[in-house]
Amino acid sequence: NTGSWDITQPLTPPSYILLTMALAMKLGLAPLHFWLPEVIQGSTMTTAFIITTWQKIAPMSLIFLTMNNLSTSVFLLMGLLSSLVGGWGGLNQTQTRKIMAYSSIAHLGWMATISSIMTNILIMNLLIYLIMTTSVFLSLIISKSKTIQDTTSTWTLSPTLTIIMLLSLLSLGGLPPLTGFIPKWLIMEE
């Protein structure tokens, strides 16, 4: 339509609707999130780690670049829906990979919510999410824990690893005195 591949140029509304839906599907934002828990559950722990961390960087950078042209209300709605779906979906899970998938959906919901308001909080939130998710996945890979029941046996192997895993999971959940609460607090303030 424009004769250009430049994604930041003002394009037609259908192109931005398609871009928004494609980025939401790639990130696993609700209501396009249904593939994420099943794919992560069916993959190895290392592949799940890559999907929940490295694969989020490119779509988030595209959102960062094109946020001025994307629909704010759509991102707020998808962010709210993703936070709710991620929180409720992870409650009744015993498989660690599915818990991490729903955690990814919830965290990306928070990021989608703040993306149109303050991009510097978006970047900080993404970096903290990547660090926390990396520490949880590395702990799960080292301890070979595929279920919550498996994590109970890591205390005998390595008490330090168990404490690191516990603190990382609580921080990823957003417990107030830990690091994971800071981005949520800043988002709620904005």
Q: Which of 120, 136, 118 is nearest to 180 (CA)?
A: 136
Average pLDDT for residues 89-98, to the nearest whole number?
90
| pLDDT exceeds 70 at position 10 | no
| pLDDT exceeds 80 at position 47 | yes
What is the per-residue pLDDT for 43? 94
Domain count, the chain: 1
Residues of the chain with pLDDT > 70, as a percent, come to: 95
| pLDDT exceeds 90 at position 84 | yes
8 domain-assigned = no
5 domain-assigned = no
What is the per-residue pLDDT for 119? 87
Q: What is the pTM of this model?
A: 0.89
24 domain-assigned = yes
| Counts for the chain of helices (H) and strands (E), in that order | 11, 0
The token pair at 176 is 């107030």
3 domain-assigned = no
Q: What is the dihedral sign for C-alpha 72, 51, 125, 188?
A: positive
170 domain-assigned = yes
pLDDT digits (tens, 9 = 90+) for 140-180: 999 888 888 888 888 888 888 888 888 988 998 888 888 88
Q: What is the dihedral sign for C-alpha 55, 57, 58, 60?
A: positive
39 domain-assigned = yes
The token pair at 82 is 């993703």
Domain membership of residue 137 as a residue range? 13-189
**C-alpha–C-alpha distance, residues 106 and 101, integer Å:** 9
4 domain-assigned = no
